[in-house]
Structure 1
């Protein structure tokens, strides 16, 4: 690769090379110096906490909408299938994160396997997921606050604004501080789930699970009141129990020992989430009735009030402390979208100003810009159900591409150093791939308009890449450097 001028502080220097259908230039030393994250901020325990924090809001609200799509039986089957998908995917991502530990995570994995277009498509799908999910969670936070009657709020947009201002601000202040605060909030949320489970267990009755009246759909029964089609409709909400755990590898450049800590952190997080999902899915509708929770914006406190015949200290406790679960996910997914956007911007796929880091090594523009968009969406749409479907569409597309990347790299680069190897290899990630394709189909089944709009946004991003940014990529951004070195070595061989 031709040597290029390294003095410019504004961006990549002159001197370009064309590889894999894209144009690259070398960035100046100052360009990369202004785009550095804080190293060594997290060990595997904090990473596991980050993984749980990403997802734990899904235990407090959102999953229950699946009862309205498939009944309890449909949601159970959907959750088992999606839990299997996530477990298999997590094993694959643990391997990829240990082999390619960069802030780009999914984008970096797909970039190595599928080229610049595949990498950008994956990164964009992840970005859609992480930019939209906090907006959905903000809507649920507003629902919990309104249910408590706090501050006399009847329109929740001020809650959304405070959430974005406060928690984006903490992330701008510093990653170490943000991750430690997130860990504490997540611990409080886990306590709320344990208290809920202990309180609901004595009220459990199996008949409550099946109290939705069967329709005349094909295959309808007390177990599947909306028939076989209800299973597919519930996929989106089965995903909500686990959505975003795949974001743990985004912390690779801020981990202490990423090759060791990444697999341990993401697998530990997934183990916790499987347990909490099982408890919520069984105990909440089992104590209150599936019909009661099918449309609820704050299902856990409502389940306790229904089970105990009105307001109780237990319901109020879970309602107040349950806000911690929603806040934990909101707080942590802000971290995720900022790191994905940072990586794509640093490599030139998206406007480069978005990856500049401040004095405390935080990408302030990558935090503020999506946060502003998310607030506007929460305030104008204010529909958690719709926002979930949009986020899940982006997530499912990224899962398909990441699992393809794992399979391609296993076959094309068998000698790539892999400190952790996926149990079952490509069979495991192949299972995740098939289920991820089903999840993509399910988003159209649940909300054709929402999925179509999200697909159009993804296509617009790809058009931006094809006509503009693929001619302005940065060769020595970490994710691109990994891929280009491998390309050069394969050509020499």
Structure 2
């Protein structure tokens, strides 16, 4: 009996500008908070070195990743590419890592939203505000992708404008001497301690760009994804590199940067040093700055819901999470599942706040572990598909192949090994989560066999890939 084919129930309605808004919006909270923990590890100069290294990784990665996104425009994103390149086990590794990245990033952002609101309302518990943010933006995501994408574009443009305003307002107080004072870990000299600090700061430099790849998960909802996605991704990474370097330089040059390390609201505190506590500029930054956090929070909710949806549709998670709301045509149950996990993380101080790191820093590190594994699997998938599926249509081809994907892969591997060495407890939690998922994967083969066939996930035997051709029907 022939298996049912996958029905594409997500509505293709997003234009290039929406995808650019999603790509930038997914990330832009990283310009508002999180990165300053890197100063605590590496100092300003050391973290600048880390950031430039990671910016190189992301630039080469995005130019390479766009080839995969346009060749296989699937809601599963990295899961779909690795499944097609390496079969079900490869799909599981990429999908589970992406899920950890996208499920653990929102609680960190929600806590930052709470911290920003606490500046204006000192009596408001940041965790209560974080839960409120989840409830509001899960609802908005469920109400429809067009509404969600338009909102994402609106708040992203506001957030970019606010970052430019921040740089302009603090310019009179900027001094390169302030930025470079005690700029290396352990003091003012580049030595062994400084190098260790540069390596320890990797997860916080990644936070500047984390989740830009999530725009790929909107591929099934994009109009002409083979044309619109390359424009959105290239414009997005260029926008983010400029903003990341600009914000870091200007924030670090207005006073004693050490006061901004290990806090969730570095930009308002940096502006205070220039305009004072009661300036209208400062209050505007807090309020409009929320839009940057909201843009990423809202966009990543959209990303994790599509990843859960795609995994469930392919039988890698319970099929109930592949249901689409009958009216709004959005994966509502997948949205709620990721939100429930994030809210639990917010209130899990005792087991997430360890290793001398704050709750937010450990959540960020956990999310980055997932991202790095996903980046590695994506670049390996690109190399595999280039070799095995020569006839696969590639509307956009990675420039300077194989150099660009090799650079991205090499830096990602270096970052993963370094982070595992310096964050052993968080890495152990990450590995435990992956192994738990793998145990579920091994026990649910029948569930995957019963899932509808999806042509985008299957390699093509006529091109020499042969990953499925050698298997009996239904075999994993």
- Output the TM-score relative to the length of structure 1: 0.89
CA deviations 1:414-453 (Å, max 9, x no partner) are 3321111111112110100010012212332442211210
Return the alpha-carbon distance in structure 2 between the equivalents of residues 329 and 127 of structure 1: 16
**SS at the partner of 1:353?**
helix
Aligned to 1:407: 383
Return the match for 1:363 from 325, 331, 343: 331
Query: Residues 103-118 of structure 1 correspond to what in structure 2 (within 5 A)?
Result: 103-118=75-90
CA displacement at 1:378 relative to structure 2: 1.3
1:172 aligns to 2:142 (yes or no): yes
Return the alpha-carbon distance in structure 2 between the equivalents of residues 224 and 242 of structure 1: 27
What is the total number of aligned residue pairs between the two structures?
459
Aligned to 1:454: 430
Query: Residues 28-47 of structure 1 correspond to what in structure 2 (within 5 A)?
Result: 32-33=6-7, 36-39=9-12, 41-47=13-19
**SS at the partner of 1:282?**
helix
CA deviations 1:257-281 (Å, max 9, x no partner) are 0111111111111111011001111
From the superposition, tell whether residues 213 and 105 of structure 1 become closer, same or farther in structure 2 (CA, over 3 Å).
Answer: closer
From the superposition, tell whether residues 49 and 214 of structure 1 become closer, same or farther in structure 2 (CA, over 3 Å).
Answer: closer
Return the alpha-carbon distance in structure 2 between the equivalents of residues 483 and 357 of structure 1: 29
Aligned to 2:24: 52
Residue pair 2:42, 2:184 contacting (<8 A) in 1 also: no
Residue pair 1:232, 1:445 contacting (<8 A) in 2 also: no
- Output the TM-score relative to the length of structure 2: 0.92
1:432 aligns to 2:408 (yes or no): yes
CA deviations 1:446-489 (Å, max 9, x no partner) are 42211210111011111211232466333513443456886569
CA displacement at 1:365 relative to structure 2: 0.8
Aligned to 2:97: 125
From the superposition, tell whether residues 489 and 137 of structure 1 become closer, same or farther in structure 2 (CA, over 3 Å).
Answer: closer
Q: What are structure 2's unaligned runs of at least 5 residues?
A: 350-357, 471-476
Return the match for 1:347 from 311, 314, 317: 314
Query: Residues 22-101 of structure 1 correspond to what in structure 2 (within 5 A)?
Result: 26-27=3-4, 32-33=6-7, 36-39=9-12, 41-101=13-73
Return the alpha-carbon distance in structure 2 between the equivalents of residues 326 and 311 of structure 1: 22
Return the alpha-carbon distance in structure 2 between the equivalents of residues 309 and 165 of structure 1: 34
Aligned to 1:277: 244
1:480 aligns to 2:457 (yes or no): yes
Aligned to 1:157: 127
Return the alpha-carbon distance in structure 2 between the equivalents of residues 393 and 199 of structure 1: 36
CA deviations 1:319-348 (Å, max 9, x no partner) are 111011001100000000011111111010
Return the alpha-carbon distance in structure 2 between the equivalents of residues 126 and 339 of structure 1: 11
CA displacement at 1:308 relative to structure 2: 3.4
Return the alpha-carbon distance in structure 2 between the equivalents of residues 213 and 71 of structure 1: 5
CA deviations 1:337-360 (Å, max 9, x no partner) are 011111111010111110110122
CA displacement at 1:294 relative to structure 2: 1.1
Return the match for 2:373 from 363, 387, 397: 397
Residue pair 1:124, 1:458 contacting (<8 A) in 2 also: yes
Return the alpha-carbon distance in structure 2 between the equivalents of residues 173 and 200 of structure 1: 39
From the superposition, tell whether residues 249 and 215 of structure 1 become closer, same or farther in structure 2 (CA, over 3 Å).
Answer: closer
Return the alpha-carbon distance in structure 2 between the equivalents of residues 42 and 59 of structure 1: 25
Return the alpha-carbon distance in structure 2 between the equivalents of residues 320 and 226 of structure 1: 38
Residue pair 2:182, 2:188 contacting (<8 A) in 1 also: no
CA displacement at 1:225 relative to structure 2: 9.6
CA deviations 1:293-327 (Å, max 9, x no partner) are 11221000000112335432211111111011001
